[in-house]
Structure formats: structure tokens, C-alpha cells
Copies of this chain bind each other. A is one copy, B any other.
Amino acid sequence: MIIDCHGHYTTAPAALGEWRERQTAALGTPQAPPARAELRISDDELRETIEPNQLRLMDERGIDMTVFSPRASFMAHHVGGFETSAAWAAICNELCHRVSQLYPERFVAAAMLPQSPGVDPATCVPELTRCVEELGAVAVNLNPDPSGGHWTAPPLTDRSWYPLYEKMVEYDIPAMIHVSTSVNPAFHTTGAHYLNADTTAFMQLVQGDLFADFPTLRFVIPHGGGAVPYHWGRFRGLAMALGKPPLEQHVLGNVYFDTCVYHQPGIDLLYDVVPARNILFASEMIGAVRDIDPCSGHHFDDTRRYAEAAKLPADDLAAVQEHNARAVYPRLDALLARQDR
């Protein structure tokens, strides 16, 4: 089977965006923000946004199951404070949960966290707990820069993040490292900020020794790891200069890269330098790049074609497409086992 570990609900019904607009419009005014219960979206409306979009493409591309989380660029943790993010994360997470209930063999939920710039990450633990225990989440998305491109948060190796890591370890769930919209005009959101965050997070992990404290903690770095595999020699050399063990020992027991790289030479390089056990199939559709590549005649984000054209040994391809995801997301594996898959 083929598991896509990186899908976002980018096609949610317009009512969701309208609720968010009312919430943000109320900020800094005496008006109360809308109540969560004021958002009403029927199951049919969910189906109408999923079936002609993600589900259609999954069927066309032979993707069996997608780890499905709220739209990354809409997380916008920089907006408002903790209460703003708490209400917003709650309703976004509930929608992904409902999609996973409507199509239990095709989607499984991953949660966004109610992060807010300058607010203790420990405040996200209750929503993480709720998502895992009540909404079936098998992973979380963790934003290393809740400020939206100002990078005011400490590195991921800082102890302020530890309460989240403790809970992730307790539930045996991984985090995908994923920023949201950039409000810094220097950074285009999907063309710079996302890739920079991937590179930045990886280097923070190389600089630190986080996995000595959390030997079973697991991070998925999306977008093929940002600049990292292309500069694998540079990172190997920097690890040496920092007196760290080789990357394989230092971080590759805990860090995984997805395959959201939208051309064949990039994917070929990823498979060439990163061990197959550290690569997870993903497409991020429907996401940043939606057109058809005039060079190939196929969608840029039809990443299954690249994976299969890379001519990996069959065992490695099966690891990338299925087995690694089942190992990195044990709650997904348990769900699939319950479904006899």
C-alpha cells in the first residue's frame, strides 16, 4: 500500500475561512470572537470538498492513505494570542478528524497545535492530548517559528519545547516540522519560508543533542528536507566541525525526510544521499504547486511517478511508500492493523 504522510486540508469549505475572518476581525476590538459552535459544516459539505479534490487525486495516483492535517499556511500562529490559536486549532483539528471518520480507510488525522509567539509551548499539551485521545490523531505538526517569519522562538533543542516532546514520546507520535504563512516580506511562504524552516530545523538538531534526552522522539522534515540533502556533504562536514558523531548516528535515528520534491533529479538525489529508511512518501497535495509540469506533462506534485522512476530496489520502495510510515507513525500502523491492512 501507499501512505502519503503529508496532506493538508487546503480545500476546506468557505465557512471555515469566514469563521476565521470573524475571529481575526474581533481581535483588538471590544467584540467577542465567534464561538466555536457557530461554525456549522455538514458532512456533505466535507465530502464535496474532499471527493473531487484530494480523494480524486489519491485514486488517480494510487495513494491508499493520507496523514491529513489542517492547512499549513492557515495555521497562522502569529495571529492573536493563545486563546485565538486555541479556538482555531480546535476547529481545524475537528474538521480533519471528521474527514478521517468519513473516509476511515483513506485519511487519518494529524493535529496542528495552538502555538502562539512568546507563549510557553507547554500550553499546547491539552490540545495534543485531546487530538490523540479523542480525535484519533497519529501525529502533530510543530511550528518552529510561530511568529510567521520573524524567527523569535528558541531552537527546537531548547528545554521550553520539552513538555511537548514528553507527551509525544508518551503517545509514541512523531511531529512534522512545519511553519505557516510568512508575514515577513523577505520570505515568500512556500518558495522560501517553508524550505528555510526545514533547513533551519535540521541544523538546530545537528547543533544540539536533543535525542540523547529523547531517544525515541521522531521528527519528519517535509519538502524533502529543505536544502539538506542537496548539501549533505556540507552538513556532514559541519557535524564534524562541531565535534558531533556522523549524521547517521547523531540524528538519522530520529529524523525523517518526506518526498515533496517536485522534479525527478531532486528525488534521485534524495534517494542517493539519504538512507531509504529515513524517507517517507508524501506529495503535499493539494498544496503549494498545483500546475502540470510542461516538461513532463504530469502534475509537479505527482510524486509517486518520481519515486517509482527512481528505480529503487523493491524493498526500499516499499519501505518509502509504506513500511517507514508504519514505523514512524505507530498509531497509524495500529489503525491499519485493525483494518486488516
**A residues apposed to B, CB below 8 Å:** 144-145, 149-151, 153-155, 184-188, 190-192, 195-196, 199-200, 203-204, 206-207, 223-224, 226-227, 229-238, 240-241, 261-263, 265-266, 268-269, 272-273, 288-291, 293, 295, 300
Contact = CB atoms under 8 A, between A and B. Distances in A.
A114 B49 CA distance: 53
How many chain copies? 2
Contact of A233 (B187, B206, B266): B266
Contact of A145 (B150, B186, B188, B223): B186
A298 to B, nearest CB: 11
Given A237-B300, A300-B237, A266 B187 contact: no
5 contacts: A195-B199, A232-B265, A233-B266, A238-B288, A240-B291
A236 B263 contact: yes
B289 A262 contact: no
A234 B262 contact: yes
Contacts of A150: 150-151
Question: What are the 6 closest A-B residue pairs judged by CB atoms, nearest first?
Answer: A233-B263, A233-B262, A237-B289, A230-B230, A227-B227, A191-B203
Given A200-B187, A200-B196, A241 B207 contact: no
Given A191-B207, A238-B289, A265-B232, A186 B200 contact: yes
A246 B278 CA distance: 33
Contacts of A300: 233-234, 236-237
